[in-house]
Structure 1
């Protein structure tokens, strides 16, 4: 497979965020307007390369690898590897620390995909003064978790932490690329090969994915929609929600529980004060890979209009 050649070269940086060595993908002049882009679950900051290449104007784009992903550190307990836990509030605190570092006195434009979109939405409601605009890419949130399911959730978590999970290895970078294409059949070979080098590292016997398998452990704390909506209702910045027309999100949510009426599901965002939604055709959940040019235009238009 040939590989994608970036239009805009990235800079790889490491900073300390709350005691964790955190890797950043950075593009653009340091004195350009700041644009922070945060990735989703089992993804990396490099995932935004195609969107950055399509941006018409200069921005200082900062895209971190979340803790436990990419080249960022995995958290450890008291110096021992143990069983690592990933709690949603830690992502909020990591983002807060990132903004303390790069923009302590000015509000920023924030883009988040999937899990990153959910983090961006909650953060924008918790720290409304720090966010100038939000672009939420396919960050729908999860199904509300009823309290009666708590015993089963806690039990599953107790079982899973006793049997650590593992991610499989791959014989070649091409195999990693094909794995990415299995998740997203729209991903062309060149882009798959480009992303594969940031999703994995070469080790004896093959390539391992740059993600902590502990992310796959059941979270014992259920998703509380009312809490999320209380945060969303406090967002002061304008929010652009970008949904892919061929999104797989409805299917995934249905698999997680009862069949989901996705039209009714979208009404959860009615609490957001300044909300606009657009649908991008010929794109699935990884909309930033499928339609980066369309997305870049939407992001820049949203920033300029506010």
Structure 2
């Protein structure tokens, strides 16, 4: 069945069989959890502190905005999701949620997340959240994903913005620190997703998504993974000597970066046999741990900052 045929079938009206778990799945909860965590770090690093109610409101709005992006992404990508084994069990391809329901759900969440953040917190943060949703849904999902092998490089900006939104929610302004957090996530995204694409190449090829391994081949992808990992390690370590983050962060960054780089070198070197797929899987799995541990270290530093200021 072609992509066009599948789309036409999905547009046929029918009674929804959706349950609560299907609408939760539309939010992409695993992606949302990473968004919430990085946003929380951005909020905690912001100077001056923020009222707990406003902090909770900000994080909830960012989470709902991320969920809205996920729902709208699934609405638009329902044709290719049905063709990929990784996404074929999502609610829309399975027919449990209609495209119209997903669209209405996503648009409603997007509208209220931006408006609540603007009215209750500030409009700078709300504008950034609106731009993040727009960038992910329109620029990445509707344009870049299906038109260029650099889709996740440019599109990665959307996933890198939540800590910037959170910083703006806390301070009403922007600064170097959230820009550094943005750059870390931005350069983390290509090796993370290209590692996934290496062992899911057949999926992307079947759905005609021009991921780098499909367009340029596995060897070129392995080289790009290595180059971006080198950039990531350098960018992630730079805030320590520049004086923006503490020594604890610097040590953790270097240790995690060394392991991330070793895995990327292994992906680049081993191109045949079982290791050709094992390496990308290991890198993909560790990349999640890498980003979580890096931001967790920053969160610990932020929590300890008041104690250190009092000499404890």
- TM-score strictly above 0.5: no
Whose helix fraction is larger, Structure 1's or Structure 2's?
2
Q: Normalising by the residue count of structure 2, what TM-score does the alignment of the two structures yield?
A: 0.29
**Bigger Cα Rg:** 2
Higher relative contact order (CA 8 A, sep 6+): 1
Q: Normalising by the residue count of structure 1, what TM-score does the alignment of the two structures yield?
A: 0.29
